[in-house]
Amino acid sequence: MANFDLDDLLNLEPSKISRDLSGYITYVFGAPKVGKTTLARDMGALIVACEDGTRALTGAYAQKAKNWSDIRALMRFCKDDRMKERYKAIAIDTVDVCASFCEKFVCAQLDIQTLGEGGWAKNGWSTFKKEFEEVFRTITMEGYAVLFISHDKTEEVTRPDGTKYNRVVATAPSSINNIIKNMSDIIAYGYFDPTTQERYMMLRSFDGMADVGCRFQYIESKIPFGYQNLVDALNAAIDEEEKHAGADAVTTERITYENKELDFDELMKEFSDIIANIPGSSDAKQETEEGKQFIEYWAPRITEITSKYLGTGKKVAQCTRAQVEQLSLIIDDLKEIIQTKPEKAN
């Protein structure tokens, strides 16, 4: 019942790099008016405006978001084929405000004032990380590119030898920023060259003066700012990857992933059907040979599996919708012991 299936695993093809930005998460922070929102428009993205930055931008498809419920609704809508036909990317402008929506949601959920309140008993930061990552990884798994947008600021960094230097970073609080960075495939800094006033995008910083990075090892460190320039740089990096890994490592197709949704009601029905088909289950309380065999052989094993995933003394009938994964694993284990049952248990 899980996403993992033995036949699928045995028939896996090697992973490939896509020339399309679909399925990738890009994190762009930078100076005001450098073109971050224009970048989102040129991607063909639905711009989720968590703060108002699209009023002076023509040709952009923008929708105001006011809370985390809006973001979660977006995640559900992204599974719709009509959305996939209309938009190739989702842009979050700005991710700082979006993260604050998520933080407020999690604090209300856990009945705390801040994510750090309550320590491990409440586990606010862990819950926030899980919630935030689940939403945006689900969107990328549906084949969309995700663009996170933020502003820039300068922070002072102390080297191991005690000397200090200034580094440009995104404006999100560092704990939240680290979660976003770990999710991202491309982290870029947009800035104006002080001499020429030309706009550039920094993708690698060898001196550590900007908090940037990229999973594509052959990408240029600096390019002119713009969507097409980013795509060109990405494809140039992929061309170089082809030289080292071969053409089979690259695809021009949009990468999507099948995500098997677990249906609680269907799983409950499947569990009931499995139990009903075990000989003796219907007359386990009666003095029949099959009933005795069910009590002696099957009942303890069913109890053992259920306790393993739900806790000692719990029954599947007490399973909640939030425990759909546990229910799925109970069914998988039950199927396995039925397939390997000895003859005497038939």
pLDDT at 286 over 90: no
pLDDT in tens, 29-79: 998 889 998 999 898 899 999 976 555 566 778 899 999 999 999 998 998
Strand partners, 25: 146
CATH number of the domain to which 86 belongs: 3.40.50
Range of the domain at 35: 16-251
Number of domains the chain contains? 2
* Neighbouring C-beta atoms of residue 177, cutoff 10 Å: 21
Torsion of CA 229, 231, 233, 237, to 10 degrees: 180
204 and 85 within one domain: yes
Which whole number is the average pLDDT over 322-343? Answer: 81
* Domain membership flag for residue 297: yes
pLDDT digits (tens, 9 = 90+) for 186-229: 999 999 998 888 999 999 987 888 999 998 888 999 999 999 99
Instruction: Give the torsion through C-alpha atoms of 116, 119, 120, 126, to 10 deg.
Output: 0
Looking at the domain assignment, is residue 137 inside a domain?
A: yes
Residue 6 has what pLDDT? 64
Q: Single out the residue in 210, 225, 251 at which a domain terminates.
A: 251
Average pLDDT, the chain: 83
Give percent above pLDDT 70 in the chain. 82
pLDDT confidence tier of residue 154, bands split at 50, 70 and 90: very high
Contact criterion met (CB below 8 Å) for 291 and 284: yes
pLDDT digits (tens, 9 = 90+) for 166-191: 999 999 988 899 999 999 999 999 99
The residue among 197, 220, 251 that closes a domain is 251
Three-state secondary-structure class, residue 284: coil
- Give, as one character, the DSSP assignment of residue 19: S
In a domain, 5, yes or no: no
| Final residue in a domain of this structure, among 216, 251, 286 | 251
